[in-house]
Amino acid sequence: MVLKSTFTFLAVAALAVFTTSPVVEAHSWADCIDWKFNNPKKPDWSDKGGKCQGYARRFPLGKAFGSLDSAYPNRHYQQVHKNPNSALACSNRKAGAEPGSDETRANPPSKAYGGKYGRMTVTTVGDTLCVRWPAKNHAKKNEPNNMVQINLSKARNGKDISQQELLKNTIARLPYKNCMKGSNEDRRACGGCFKVPVRASGTYLLQWRWMLNKNEWYTSCADIQIGK
């Protein structure tokens, strides 16, 4: 009788913990590096409003928008808290508070694109690139509208540069909460656009970088091929 009562108590307690535990909020990443609107006069970041023409490194195709926080490995990469500006700029699937998926540079860079991965961004100086990301519950009214940094290396056809060097080459700051309306705070589509600055023809590292809280940064890396 005591054994049965103890079992019942433990079962109820476990159910209470399961049902009352708060939902863990996920963190964001760049879903698309080169988003093309169906109607540029009416920008629409949803899947119905355009198509992605360029992705981050080794970005898996065929996944529902905003779902890659539940994949393995998940997509978001969190740089270390103590000194994020000295952390790896791109995830190697090992470093960081939340390692994320592998975004190390391939040799040649094109090997990180195509097939099961999205295509590489091909653009020109002066062109407009539009980057998309999922809100992941961080675009609510009570959430800070921290800016997304777009950093673009000046090192042509070379190895990835450090995070500190990338911060010397911030070419745009985009409001994180520039999102579509919708009741699903997790899967709301957000984004922003910028002009490609002057660079010699070649392939460059582009970084999407966003601060959720102080010293808590998330990044996505992509190779972009710039022509004249």
Instruction: Measure the CA–CA gap between 192 and 166, rounded to whole angstroms.
Output: 19
Q: How is the chain split into domains, by residue range?
A: 26-227
For 16, other C-beta atoms within 10 Å of its C-beta total 10
Distance CA 2, CA 69 (A): 43
Q: Which tens digit of pLDDT belongs to each residue from 60-79? A: 999 999 999 877 778 999 99
Taking a C-beta distance cutoff of 8 angstroms, is the pair 90, 219 a contact?
yes
pLDDT at 113 over 80: yes
- By three-state DSSP, how is residue 27 classified? coil
Average pLDDT over residues 139-161: 94
Average of per-residue pLDDT across 88-99:
92
Q: Is the pLDDT score of 162 beyond 80?
A: yes
Give tens-digit pLDDT for 7-49: 443 443 443 333 333 344 578 999 999 999 999 999 999 999 9
**Which one is predicted more confidently, 96 or 210?**
210
Contact, 65 vs 189, CB < 8 A?
yes
Q: How many helices (H) and strands (E) does the chain have?
A: 2, 10
Instruction: Please count the residues of the chain.
Output: 228
Mean predicted confidence (pLDDT) in 163-183: 95
Between 189 and 97, the higher pLDDT residue: 189
Check pLDDT > 60 for residue 168: yes
Phi, psi (degrees; rounded to nearest 5) at 124: -135, 160
For residue 9, the SS3 value is: helix
Name which of 98, 53, 133, 50 is nearest 216 in CA terms.
98
Tell me, what DSSP letter sits at residue 4?
H
Q: Which two tokens stand for residue 200?
A: 């010699």
Give me the mean pLDDT over the 114-138 stretch.
97
Instruction: Using CA atoms of 159, 163, 166, 168 in order, give the dihedral in degrees to the nearest 10.
Output: -140
Q: What is the mean pLDDT of residues 148-155?
A: 97
176 pLDDT higher than 50: yes
Phi-psi region of 18 (alpha: psi -120 to 50; beta: other; left: phi over 0): alpha
pLDDT for 25: 53
Least confident of 9-13, 61-65, 170-174, 198-202: 9-13
For the chain, the C-alpha Rg in angstroms (whole number) is 20
Q: Please say if the pLDDT value at position 6 is more than 50.
A: no
Tell me the average pLDDT of the chain: 89
Residue 217 predicted with pLDDT over 70:
yes
- 96's torsion region: left (phi>0), alpha (psi -120 to 50) or beta? left
User: What percent of the chain is modeled with pLDDT above 70?
Assistant: 89
Beta bridge partners of 147: 175
Distances (CA, A) of 175 to 43, 128, 185, 190: 15, 17, 16, 9
Q: pLDDT tens, 80-90?
A: 888 999 999 99
In the block, residue with structure tokens 């950093």: 151
CATH number of 26-227, picked from 3.10.20.520, 3.30.1370.60, 2.60.40.1930, 3.40.50.300: 2.60.40.1930
pLDDT at 105: 96
* Cis check: omega of the bond before 108, within 30 degrees of 0: yes
